Structure 1
Amino acid sequence: MALSVLTSLEPSCRTALLVMHSNEGTVLCPFFSKCDGLLIIDPESGSREFRAKEQDTAEAMCDLILKAGVHRLVLGFIGGPAARKLRAAGIDIRLGSGAVAVEDLVIGFNDLPAA
């Protein structure tokens, strides 16, 4: 069977970041379920999409991330149960700093420490 041209053997490089909005712009949030939402950046196309969180729970945040269909996630902190749930779904979780621009976190994803 031939593969479709649209079929990709590699996971997408689209990267989700848990972010909060501040006077300085959008920055990485240090708290898992307390962030404003999920910023999804596709480094290949340059597209950015923000998805606001609906509830302040770890379970709701996990669901938001899973529904986004990303395979890469950058955040400031994640608890054990949430990390296990996301890893089981095939998401590569990395730790970043709010002192670094979100675009730079996406570009340097492979150099970030695993969560």
Structure 2
Amino acid sequence: MIVTADFFRRTVMSTIAPQLPDREGLIGVLVSRTRKKNVLSPFFAKADGLLIVDPITHAIEFQKNDERTSGSICALILASGAKRLVCGFIAKPERDRLSELGIDIRLGSCASRVESLVRQFATLPTA
């Protein structure tokens, strides 16, 4: 059997290529950062950024909110691919816009640890 480069790429490389996480399973958390620690932000647009958490692998990714506007944080949330969001506060226009686009939004307590909020997502109150 002669193995071509195309055959190699389709068979061998596909088995060793890293599998990307299911973006729909990810949970976005609007956070403020203090001393390299992430806490749930009490603000929506003024949050320091969006923490993307994979609840299965516990992998995290921080995306900075440079512009600090409602439009920019909504765009950041949508671009992340996460379909679930935890925030400390969200105004009705942003809640309605994100909900219409398929984002499941829950409210969390800023006194709770981010890890706990992610773990308890299903029990958090809907925004």
- SS of the residue corresponding to residue 12 of structure 1 reads helix
Residue 69 (structure 2) pairs with residue 34 (structure 1): no
- Name the amino acid aligned to 1:95: L
- The structure in which a higher percent of residues are helix is 2
What TM-score do the two structures reach when normalised by structure 2? 0.79
| Cα pair 2:23 2:81 within 8 Å, conserved | no
- Could you say what the CA RMSD is over the residues aligned between the two structures, in angstroms? 1.7
What TM-score do the two structures reach when normalised by structure 1? 0.87
Q: Distance in 2 between matches of 1:38 and 1:18?
A: 5
Alignment of 1:2-41 (within 5 A): 12-23=24-35, 25-41=37-53
| Cα pair 2:51 2:63 within 8 Å, conserved | yes
Ranges in structure 2 where 5+ consecutive residues have no aligned partner: 1-18
Residue 94 (structure 2) pairs with residue 82 (structure 1): yes
CA 1:69–1:32: 2 relative to 1, 3 Å: same
Q: Distance in 1 between matches of 2:92 and 2:24?
A: 25
| Cα pair 2:24 2:81 within 8 Å, conserved | no
Residue 112 (structure 2) pairs with residue 109 (structure 1): no
**2:69 match:** 57
CA 1:24–1:51: 2 relative to 1, 3 Å: closer
Ranges in structure 1 where 5+ consecutive residues have no aligned partner: 1-5
Match of 1:92 among 83, 89, 104: 104
Cα distance, 1:11 vs structure 2:
7.5
